[in-house]
Amino acid sequence: MTQFWLSRRLKSAVIITLCIIAVIASIQTTGLTRALIELIAFGGLIWLALSKPDIKQHDA
C-alpha cells in the first residue's frame, strides 16, 4: 500500500485551508450540505493529525 506523507510546510497549509473551508461552510450553507462539508474538513484534519510526521529529530 502506498503511503503519502506531507512535508511540514504543506501540512500547515492544508490544515489552514481545511479550517477556512469549514468556516465558510458554516457561514454560507445550511443543512446537509453544511454537515457534509464540515465532516470532510474534520476528516482531513484527523487524517493529518494521525499521519506520520515528516520531521526527524536528531540528538545534539
**For 5-52, what is each residue's pLDDT tens digit?**
557 778 778 888 888 888 888 888 888 888 888 888 888 888 887 776
**pTM of this structure:** 0.62
Residue 43, burial from CB neighbour count under 10 angstroms (0-12, 13-18, 19+): exposed
pLDDT of amino acid 55: 57
- Give the model's pLDDT for residue 54: 57
- Residue 56 pLDDT class (50, 70, 90 cuts): low
